[in-house]
Structure 1
Amino acid sequence: MDDIAELIDRLSNDEDAVKKMAVFKLQTNIGDPSFAEIFIAQGGLAKLRNLALYSNGNTLAYALTSFSRLLDLDKGWDYVTPDLVSRVVELIVTHPLVNILRGAMSILVAIVSHPHISNASRGSYTGPFGFRALKPAITAHAEFLEMLVNRLSSADHALCANSLQLINSLMRDTITNDTDAEWPKFIKRLQDLGVIKAVFVLMQSSALQDLAHPLLEFQALTKVLLRRWRDVKVDLEIKEHRLALKGLHLASAPPEKEKAEETSTGSKRRPHNPEKWRRLGFQTESPAWEFGDVGFLGMMDLTDFVRKDEDGFRKIVMEQNAKAAAQRCPIARASLTATYILYHQFEVDKSDIDDPKTFQVLESRTNYDRAFRPLLLQWSRLHTAALSAFVRLWQETQAEADDFDKVAELVRVLIFHVVGQAHRTKDVQDIEDEILEMECSRLRDLQMEILERSYENAWGNHLTHVREELKVEAMQFVKEQRIRCLLQGSWFPVSVDRKADGSRIDLHSVPWRYVRLSHNRRYLHYCDYERETSYEPKLEELPEKIDLSTVSSVVSNVIPASIASASSSSGTLTPTLGAGSKLASTKITIHGYPPSTNGSSNKNAKEVVLLALHPQTHSLASEWLDGLLMLLNQQPITSETSKLVNMVTDYGLKIRLLNVRYTDDYHNSPPELPSREGVDEDYYYSLFV
């Protein structure tokens, strides 16, 4: 205690060096609650306050740091006077030294945040807290907020953190404790000063480790703001809301007669335009209720879209109203839908700052992309891009009024893919370009992938069983298609042997063979001709035939040209048959047993070559090789057939998924039986489950 008394005495010493050393020691010890209590009990707080008011240099920096640490212990509030607040605000505006600015900002953060942290230990002090405590000083120093935002671009990360922490405290207090509903004006002033841009740059920078917590709090406060605006109901009794709607109407270039009636001050009654608001894309002539899901946030987004490009908005409205009513894209409704999609994409109702998992994520730099969503700060630009994409997709799909929900779903998939999967450092301009340029076909593919994953997660075992059933059906379908190719018949060159110099023989100079499967699928008919003709011989014109019951195996050496050698084996194709590669030597050999003298198969005889085919395209080779194998009840082996089976299976599964709602669960809750009230005995119904 003697040491503390001596330290307090030195705080008022006439020599600056002595005071500086004393307050330097004080800042390292004042964080100890027991030390702080003795320090205050022995009258040290008054001397510390005087140093904060009248000293300068390092002495001032140490004094401010000591005072802020006392406030963090919820002590010393009796000495938070208006002159101290004014002094600290003045330092932030005028002083260039970083170590002084840090302490000054810490004191203001404690003052502004005090009601949010604790209301129990104010001592005898009855003065204002929160933003109200700073308001007189900020009024006297109009540049305070501007300087505060400018500090966010400082090279000193600690100073950036302190500045952002103070901005967060001011925002939180204004939003939660403002009884005069002036918080929108304060937030707009901060935005006009560039706070959004500055924080967005910090979120995408490499300085996240030093700024993680204040940045995360700013992100959470942004969600709070969005929720507050969403919770404000659009009410035409409120002047601001009424003027916003009127501005939308005037920006849409209403007919001249209508504009003249609106500006007229005569006593004549104005005739009502029956489509005044439907022209803009509202569903009814009472637009206020249509903002129910998105509130004033939806109004802000729509008016901001119009403000950015009033000529473009007017052009869209005129283009849509030139179409038939069923074909018009409802701009206003599309805008509200875009707001709703963004609101749920960013999980605005979920508070990041109160989620303990978020702070676990922040422990590792590799997880920052999961915690920080800088694109949330670009809400207005994303809304504009989403609405523009909505109009584009409406036109590309030639949608009509009943298709609104389908187009909205495509936009939701678009935002989920582009915004939801974006890397933290991705440029917002690239995001906008991707939203505006993504093709509709790509979106439909993504939609099916998302749908399939959703059902896979919910009904994994059921879908596996369904997929297996569909694959069997697809195999039967493809088998029938391949066999039909054989039933139709094809031309094959009799020989493709090379000349003595190694060059290929001109196929126009060799005989050709026409091969066709009989209608009963038991015989393979063929005949050799001098050349290929456009005329396809009939089955009765093909004298030669092979009884498929005598076929023992089908051998193929169909290979891509890039493969130097290949091995042939019964019923197998060694290399993959790909549609993009060229055929080097194409041959399908049918082996079997020669018929006996009585015409039946002689399986005791030696296996011989019954027929050789030389298909000249991959598709033809796949059709005949796999068609013959399937006729022999063997599995197809070419990649083209495999892809075809998978494609048919996938489409079958997607068609079934499109016909089932995610909420359907007839096993647990069977459908309600229709009532027979008012129905006579001749009526009946069928119930399909």
Structure 2
Amino acid sequence: MSTTASSSTAVRSPTGTSNGNGTQSKSALVPTNNVTTGDGLTVRTRIDPTLTVDDVMKQLCLNLKIKESPSNFALRDDLDELVTNDNLRKKIRNKVNLKLVNAPAREARETADKLRNRGTRDIRLTLFSLQKFIREEAFAREFLDHNGLNELVDVISSTSGNTLAYALTAMQNLMELDYGWATLSDDFILTVVKILSSSQSLINVCRPATAILKKLVEADPSVPGPQAAGSSRTPSTQPGSIYRYGFQVVFEQMRKESGFLETVVNRLGSADTAMAQHSMMLINSLLAHALDDDRWEEFISELERLNVRRAVVRLMSLHTIEDLTSCILDFQANIVRLTYRKKTSYVDPEFVESHAAAFDAIWKCSKLEPDINEDGEEFKWRKLGFETEDVIQEFNHVGVLGLECLRKFVESEPDFSKIILEQLSRPEERRCPIARASNEVVELLSEHWAIFGSEYSTSTTFQPFFLDFQKVHSLATRFFIRMWSESGAANGDFTRVAALVHSQVKVALRRENVRPWHEVEHDFLECEYRAVRDRQMKELELEDDLLSKVPVRNLRAKLYKESFEFVRQQRIQCLLQGAWFVNAIPASSPRETARRPSRPWRFMRLDSGQKYLHYVDSAVKFPVRAGLEDLPDRIDISLISEIATGTCAPPPNVLREQSDIPPSSTLMPSPLSFSLLSAHEGSLADLIAPDQSRWADWTDGLNMLRRDGGHVSSKETAGFVQTLTEIGLKIKLLDLSGEMVEIPSGLVAGPPPTNNDYFFSDLM
């Protein structure tokens, strides 16, 4: 390496010499970088790209006659990015302007000291720098070793305004590391909760505070890191592990601020899109982790009281910015999981107070009195349409979801008592079993919306009607009762009427993302029996009645989960293999400022640990070897908060092969484009896939890697899951139909044993 001050004309090289007439030898062809020192001196430097950064610093300090140890110094570019062995060649090749600065370790020690003595220092400037440098491992480790974390916590607890915003952002960036913040106390968590609870907090304060709480929720000891296909992670209990928080720890502090959750939900309507996005991401994390916690019902009850679903539906209708799409679809996926959890949670009025209260409310709305039959047995719940007086058994298949839906129906129907009396006035065999019909509607809606308990949702569009499940249930239950009356049904016709309702559900809820609610109401309330029956008869000609039986429904649900897991593993395997993409331009960029990238192609591959996306940018495609040797740069998966689609356009004048995306004369978003967005760094990558298949592989595969991801983006993936499910179902049914096995509509369990003096026989 050779250096010279800007006023000097003599240039020396470690391998080349002057030829006597002022011209340089071949070594002079090495690119020249400008290096600015701390005292403002600019030197022109030729750096040998084969050297390490340590060797570069030694030679630079030697040439500049700096007496201090070279280990005290480092190089950064104009954007304060640290020069490392990984990016040194790139900086040299691009002739980037560099700055001679303190080494990260030295900077960290000085920063910790400034925080400790902040009464006499410019704390705001220190924190502004800290939020950038804390992401560097060398800086972070030294900062933590010098008690920097505790000093930062003290600052957060004692400042406000922009100073607090910088401190919170620094903490947020520190928490991107998987070490160093395991000592954060409950008091600190409560401090952050109080900051968010205040309606006076600035937006630039709320954003990092929300991200911090989200990170704490996801630091769950039972889920240490992203769960990928083939992962064998186990709960982390090691001393110093950051995975020691989770939903329960954060929820305990949330309960101390009564207005906290309400404030977060209200911010979903914020005019600041980033604030709405952060709030939605926090709610999603709380939802996802609450469902695995014993106190999930308490949290969900509070969330439902605040009408969070209505707030999200409003976002759907007002939604114009793509940044929120992924968050809304994640919320839908979490509500799918919540609905399944309720459906599979047993009803027990003897031990669960809320269940007993629901039954009391239902009976009160009926305005009936229980009867005693000839055998002295109470005749109560059968009046409402249950088959027995054992209400626990009656809700065996629909669980708490069925109980909540029935309660909502009877409370929202002002003439419910009249409907019940009208049914009781009929001959017993002609009465519509309203309670049983309610449970059947729950089953039909669960099947329609694929409530099968999968970790992910295959819906690629908004589902506002699903988010109002109980309201749709009430409409469909009224429709069931009307069809029963108009068709003159009797006890043996329950399955036939249920089939009519099933047909109408598919029609009324079609194209859910674009249909207005009043059309759904019309389909359920105004459609005539004869029209429904005629349509259903045509459908029966194309369908097999076998598919509507309960055991077959359950089999489909099991196969659906297996199919989804299979497709999920396939998608992640595609990421491990890697693929070429076009480096794109955000569609929001003015066309006149759009320039062709110097390296328009990018190859990306997921590492075996599934923590980083390694990549290389290139002017042309080339054969990439297995492994990561050809991929010098990387993106941390944990930084990706959203995979936005349809966001960027091909760069102008980029030549493509015939199989790739055709050139475009305008900066129009490509349907095969996607962006990897970070909550606080903007876009980490803007890419265009070469075809629909790889676009689906990567957008859905990356969503499945995200810790808070819960949905798929492509209809292709959703279609694969559905197709595999149907093929598997038909193969299973062929085994039975080929043997002429009769599949019952349901199985009735016998009475339980009266004592424990029994055993199961071995059937040969």
TM-score tier by shorter-chain length is 0.5 to 0.7
Q: By how many angstroms is 1:329 displaced? A: 0.9
CA distance, structure 1, for counterparts of residue 735 and residue 316 of structure 2? 48
CA distance, structure 2, for counterparts of residue 350 and residue 136 of structure 1? 27
CA distance, structure 2, for counterparts of residue 314 and residue 219 of structure 1? 35
Q: By how many angstroms is 1:48 displaced? A: 2.7
Match of 2:141 among 6, 27, 37: 37
CA distance, structure 2, for counterparts of residue 93 and residue 672 of structure 1? 61
2:506 aligned with 1:416, yes or no? yes
Q: In structure 2, what is the equivalent of residue 217 of structure 1?
A: 330
Q: In structure 1, what is the equivalent of residue 65 of structure 2?
A: none
| Deviation digits for residues 551-606 of structure 1 (CA, Å, limit 9, x no counterpart) | xxxxxxxxxxxxxxxxxxxxxxxxxxxxxxxxxxxxxxxxxxxxxxxxxxxxxxxx
Q: In structure 2, what is the equivalent of residue 100 of structure 1?
A: 205
CA distance, structure 2, for counterparts of residue 280 and residue 71 of structure 1? 55
Match of 1:130 among 246, 264, 276: 246
SS in 1 for 2:460: helix
Q: By how many angstroms is 1:315 displaced? A: 0.7
Normalised TM-score (structure 1):
0.58
The answer to whether the 8 A contact 2:237-2:244 is kept is no
CA distance, structure 2, for counterparts of residue 672 and residue 455 of structure 1? 15
| Deviation digits for residues 178-210 of structure 1 (CA, Å, limit 9, x no counterpart) | 2xxx42222111111221211121233324621
Instruction: Tell me how large the CA RMSD over aligned residues is.
Output: 3.4
2:177 aligned with 1:109, yes or no? no
Q: By how many angstroms is 1:398 displaced? A: 1.5
Q: In structure 2, what is the equivalent of residue 354 of structure 1?
A: 456
Q: State the one-letter code of the partner of 1:398.
A: G
Match of 2:167 among 48, 55, 63: 63
The answer to whether the 8 A contact 2:337-2:453 is kept is no
Alignment length (residue pairs): 442
CA distance, structure 2, for counterparts of residue 9 and residue 449 of structure 1? 79
Structure 1 residues 135, 201: CA separation in 2 closer, same or farther (over 3 Å shift)? same
CA distance, structure 2, for counterparts of residue 308 and residue 668 of structure 1? 44
Q: By how many angstroms is 1:217 displaced? A: 2.5
Specify every segment of 5 or more residues in structure 2 that has no aligned partner in the other structure, as ranges: 1-71, 73-101, 226-234, 548-729, 743-764
Q: By how many angstroms is 1:672 displaced? A: 7.8
Q: By how many angstroms is 1:84 displaced? A: 1.8
Question: Which has the higher relative contact order, 1 or 2, with Cα contacts under 8 A spaced 6 or more apart?
Answer: 2
SS in 1 for 2:445: helix
The equivalences for 1:327-346 within 5 A come to: 327-346=430-449
Specify which structure has the higher proportion of helix.
1
CA distance, structure 1, for counterparts of residue 252 and residue 339 of structure 2? 28
Structure 1 residues 213, 664: CA separation in 2 closer, same or farther (over 3 Å shift)? closer
CA distance, structure 2, for counterparts of residue 105 and residue 32 of structure 1? 22
Structure 1 residues 3, 410: CA separation in 2 closer, same or farther (over 3 Å shift)? same
2:343 aligned with 1:230, yes or no? yes
CA distance, structure 1, for counterparts of residue 152 and residue 146 of structure 2? 12
Q: In structure 2, what is the equivalent of residue 573 of structure 1?
A: none
CA distance, structure 2, for counterparts of residue 270 and residue 167 of structure 1? 55
Structure 1 residues 204, 348: CA separation in 2 closer, same or farther (over 3 Å shift)? farther
Q: In structure 2, what is the equivalent of residue 26 of structure 1?
A: 130
CA distance, structure 2, for counterparts of residue 65 and residue 121 of structure 1? 28
* Structure of higher CA gyration radius: 1
Q: By how many angstroms is 1:378 displaced? A: 0.1
The answer to whether the 8 A contact 1:77-1:123 is kept is no
Structure 1 residues 195, 668: CA separation in 2 closer, same or farther (over 3 Å shift)? closer
CA distance, structure 2, for counterparts of residue 671 and residue 152 of structure 1? 56
The answer to whether the 8 A contact 1:227-1:349 is kept is yes
2:487 aligned with 1:390, yes or no? no
The equivalences for 1:127-166 within 5 A come to: 129-135=245-251, 137-166=253-282
Q: Give me the identity figure in percent.
A: 32
Q: By how many angstroms is 1:127 displaced? A: 10
Q: In structure 2, what is the equivalent of residue 91 of structure 1?
A: 195
SS in 1 for 2:318: coil
Q: State the one-letter code of the partner of 1:210.
A: D
Q: By how many angstroms is 1:128 displaced? A: 6.3
Q: In structure 2, what is the equivalent of residue 435 of structure 1?
A: 524
The equivalences for 1:278-317 within 5 A come to: 278-309=382-413, 311-317=414-420
Structure 1 residues 442, 208: CA separation in 2 closer, same or farther (over 3 Å shift)? farther
The answer to whether the 8 A contact 2:463-2:512 is kept is no
Q: By how many angstroms is 1:387 displaced? A: 0.3
Q: In structure 2, what is the equivalent of residue 6 of structure 1?
A: 107
Q: In structure 2, what is the equivalent of residue 206 of structure 1?
A: 319
CA distance, structure 1, for counterparts of residue 357 and residue 195 of structure 2? 42
The answer to whether the 8 A contact 2:277-2:324 is kept is yes
The answer to whether the 8 A contact 1:329-1:394 is kept is yes
Q: State the one-letter code of the partner of 1:249.
A: W
Match of 2:465 among 375, 378, 387: 375
Q: In structure 2, what is the equivalent of residue 252 of structure 1?
A: 366
Q: State the one-letter code of the partner of 2:107.
A: E
Structure 1 residues 435, 9: CA separation in 2 closer, same or farther (over 3 Å shift)? same
CA distance, structure 2, for counterparts of residue 163 and residue 375 of structure 1? 22
Q: By how many angstroms is 1:218 displaced? A: 1.9
CA distance, structure 1, for counterparts of residue 736 and residue 258 of structure 2? 68
Specify every segment of 5 or more residues in structure 1 that has no aligned partner in the other structure, as ranges: 262-268, 359-368, 459-660, 674-689
| Deviation digits for residues 409-441 of structure 1 (CA, Å, limit 9, x no counterpart) | 01011111111x133143334322322222223
CA distance, structure 2, for counterparts of residue 663 and residue 134 of structure 1? 46
Q: State the one-letter code of the partner of 2:738.
A: S
Q: State the one-letter code of the partner of 1:124.
A: G
Q: State the one-letter code of the partner of 2:286.
A: L
Structure 1 residues 662, 409: CA separation in 2 closer, same or farther (over 3 Å shift)? farther
